[in-house]
């Protein structure tokens, strides 16, 4: 074993469905360009496609069905225990359709990541692509951000944009944005795994330099 192998960080990736963003991480890991090991993929729904993606790649999987818990707090406690059991350094939310409690978010402060399909701070919440079209925006996109207790309000790490074309509908726009998501999400986590990225007093530092409030902008 090399020293590099000893220091490789471990990720927990949380999913609720098909796992297209998960696949982007698996692809990067398999080409040794992620700088991390996916230690476990955890789903709150049984038998979703993302679990099969992970199993096919030889990654450990866990299912913690949220319907079996009396409260969000009890579910999140079980989730924390599972992640800690795999000794994970960071947690990646990849289509994880649960609102997490402050207890969970604070436990993983500075190492909990999410991707949102808009150019935050525009359009937190749902129906982001349709809202961008309805407002006649010239572009849409996605933002990778650190997670804080407030929904979609965490400090931005990296953004990528796509033009909104004449005749676009929400589905067409979402497909183009998703292609960008598959690039920027692993990139942000790779920076963290290489010890280049950190969250300090709500400021995001990349290579010890503060990023703008909208994060690093991916060039075309």
65: enclosing H helix or E strand: none
8 Å CB contact between 78 and 69: yes
8 Å CB contact between 42 and 15: yes
Which of the residues are catalytic?
Answer: 116
8 Å CB contact between 54 and 61: yes
- Which residue, 155, 72, 166, is CA-closest to 112? 155
84: helix, strand or coil: helix
8 Å CB contact between 173 and 134: no
153: helix, strand or coil: coil
Separation of alpha carbons 83 and 23, rounded Å: 20
149: helix, strand or coil: coil
């Amino acid at each position: 074993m090399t020293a590099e192998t000893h220091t490789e960080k471990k990720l927990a990736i949380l999913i609720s469905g098909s796992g297209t963003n998960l696949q982007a991480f698996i692809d990067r890991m398999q080409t040794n360009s992620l700088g991390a090991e996916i230690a476990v993929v955890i789903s709150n729904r049984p038998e979703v496609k993302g679990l099969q993606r992970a199993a096919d790649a030889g990654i450990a999987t866990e299912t913690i069905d949220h319907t079996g818990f009396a409260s969000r707090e009890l579910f999140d406690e079980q989730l924390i225990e599972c992640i800690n059991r795999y000794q994970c350094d960071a947690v990646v939310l990849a289509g994880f359709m649960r609102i997490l409690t402050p207890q969970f978010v604070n436990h993983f402060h500075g190492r909990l990541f999410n991707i949102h399909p808009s150019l935050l701070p525009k359009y937190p919440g749902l129906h982001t692509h349709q809202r961008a079209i309805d407002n006649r925006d010239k572009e849409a996109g996605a933002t990778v951000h650190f997670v804080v207790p407030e929904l979609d309000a965490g400090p931005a790490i990296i953004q990528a944009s796509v033009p909104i074309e004449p005749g676009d509908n929400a589905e067409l726009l979402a497909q183009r944005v998703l292609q960008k998501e598959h690039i920027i999400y692993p990139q942000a986590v790779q920076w963290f795994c290489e010890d280049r990225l950190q969250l300090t007093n709500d400021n995001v530092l990349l290579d010890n330099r503060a990023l703008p409030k909208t994060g690093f902008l991916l060039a075309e």
